[in-house]
Amino acid sequence: MSTLYLGDTVPDFEQETSIGRIRFHEWAGDSWVVLFSHPADFTPVCTTELGLTGKLQPEFEKRNVRAIAISVDDVESHRTWAKDIEDTQNTIVGFPIIADKDKSVATLYDMIHPNQSGTATVRAVFIIDPAKKLRLTLTYPLSIGRNFDEILRVIDALQLSDAYGVATPGNWRDGDDVIVPLSLQDENLIREKFPKGYRAERPYLRFTPQPNK
């Protein structure tokens, strides 16, 4: 079992999935990836989450994101479960579900927390950039469903920060003002980088309109 830190290159692996065997880094290609784990197939919270993922595929595609789920059940179980998800959630499960029956991937990514369960994975989320670097993690207890609005929000924030060198304030959403980072102090550079100008609430707290809006 290893601990993954933000900025680490995520481990590669080869495993069976509901769409066939994949090598993770090769499958991810030049996309961002949301890898999220589930305690088991045919569980109610997971069913709603995978349904949401299916419905959000257009939103993920707009952001160059590939979603991939993981559960410790086998491929046939995943495929049967996917039909239930599609029937009950009115969507299509067009993304792979990793069949981690031997728990090798769960162990590699430290998804099993013994004080929650010795066998089931917690509800972990890993957001991975095209360079295969871990950019964000979220960990939920077994009984609590994830907030997919937040997952999309942080992807937007990460991509904006990478593209324009800005930071985002609390509760930021696409279109809101962003923050000029403290690392940028030269006024000429600030004016060049942010031609829309900025307002300084304090010398250390400077807001500027979102650069790509």
* Percent of the chain surpassing pLDDT 70: 94
- The answer to whether the beta carbons of residues 91 and 50 sit under 8 Å apart is no
DSSP assigned state of 84: H
Q: Is residue 158 part of a domain?
A: no
Please tell me whether residues 92 and 174 are part of one structural domain: no
The interaxial angle of helices 44-55 and 75-89, nearest 10 deg, is 70
Q: Is residue 100 part of a domain?
A: yes
Q: Which of 46, 85, 93, 180 is catalytic?
A: 46
pLDDT score recorded for residue 115: 52
pTM of the model: 0.92
Residue at which a domain ends, from 114, 147, 180: 147
Structural domains in the chain (count)? 2
Q: Is residue 157 part of a domain?
A: no
Strand-strand pairing, 134-140 and 32-38: unpaired
Q: Is residue 4 part of a domain?
A: no
- pLDDT, tens digit, 9 for 90 and up, residues 63-83: 999 999 999 899 999 999 999
- pLDDT, tens digit, 9 for 90 and up, residues 145-199: 999 999 999 999 999 999 999 999 999 999 999 999 999 999 999 999 999 999 9
pLDDT score recorded for residue 1: 46
Pick the residue with more confidence: 211 or 120? 211
**9 is a catalytic site residue:** no
- The answer to whether the beta carbons of residues 179 and 166 sit under 8 Å apart is yes
Report d(CA 7, CA 28) in Å as an integer: 17
- CA triple 56-57-63, angle to 5 deg: 95
